[in-house]
Structure 1
Amino acid sequence: MGLVFLWFGVLKLFPAVSPAEEVAVRASAKLTFGLLPLDAILPLLAVLETAIGIGLVTGFLLRLTLTVFFAHMVGVFSALFVLHEEMWKTGTPIPTMLGQYIIKNVVLVAACLVVAADAWLRALPHPGNPPLPPAGR
């Protein structure tokens, strides 16, 4: 999961390589009310996704990584609403190919919920048992 995020983040560092970059920039521009320059959005997303990937792979600052991941996913899923004309076939609950591309992220969210639950359980004190080592190490 971390490798996928790392891979997709690195792809965004190279203009016109990621198939998702156009929709990511348009959605981010709408979500930030145009306050970020368009040419800054893609590099920021690339660094964010790369950092999330590194955090998931290494387990370093895992709680922060998961918090940033879930916040990022809120932004990703919001594209279904802010770009609804591109995400849904007109007048139907049927997603377009772009909409399907966004919706498939529910798998990543489910996987990160498992990682978050594991990290949370490892942080709980266990009477009579030594604490578990941090997840991801």
Structure 2
Amino acid sequence: MHRAAERYRPGSLVILRVSVGVIYCWFGILKLFPATSPAEHIALQTMTKLTGSLVPAQVSLPLLGTAETLIGLALITGILLRHALAAFYAHMSGVLSSLALLPDAMWHHGIPTLDGQYVLKNLVLIAACLAVTADELTR
């Protein structure tokens, strides 16, 4: 293997993990303050559908924001990383479910709307966390 690849590989995975953690913290913290998250309406509509309206809006956003912030902190620090990765994938399944649960908001004639694009960008975070997971499982 090329020397540069060997030199950069360990650090790059840490940078990748911390970067996703920072993004997760940022979006989580925004959900803790009303009307600051660009995804607030998507999150509320998705949570309403997923829970059959059992979780009220005033609980949904703080719950999501806290979960995202905790996942982000675990990714940044590496503490409880395997648990955080499991929570990350569970959260992402809920996020991506909005593509099917909210078709009118996510798609316009088969093309993603701005909200749909906002959700689809999470595919990059999933790919990043798959690399982090693979690294973590080899330890």
TM-score range, shorter chain: 0.7 to 0.9
Partner SS for 1:47: helix
TM-score normalised to structure 1 length: 0.86
1:135 — aligned with what?
Answer: none
RCO greater where, 1 or 2, for CA within 8 Å and sep 6 or more?
A: 2
1:103 — aligned with what?
Answer: 120
> 2 CA distance for matches of 1:23 and 1:72?
14
TM superposition shift of 1:117: 0.2
- Give aligned-pair identity as a percent: 53
Question: How many residues align structurally?
Answer: 120
Matched ranges for 1:33-72 at <5 A? 33-72=52-91
> 2 CA distance for matches of 1:60 and 1:32?
30
User: Which structure's CA Rg is the greater one?
Assistant: 1
1:8 — aligned with what?
Answer: 27
> 1 CA distance for matches of 2:114 and 2:27?
18
Q: Is 1:121 aligned to 2:113, yes or no?
A: no
Name stretches of at least 5 consecutive residues in structure 2 with no aligned partner. 1-19
Structure with higher helix content: 2
Q: Residues 91-114 of structure 1, C-alpha deviation per residue, up to 9 Å, x if partnerless?
A: x32100000000010000000000
> 2 CA distance for matches of 1:116 and 1:15?
32
> Which amino acid is the alignment partner of residue 97 of structure 2?
S
> Which amino acid is the alignment partner of residue 26 of structure 1?
Q
Name stretches of at least 5 consecutive residues in structure 1 with no aligned partner. 123-137
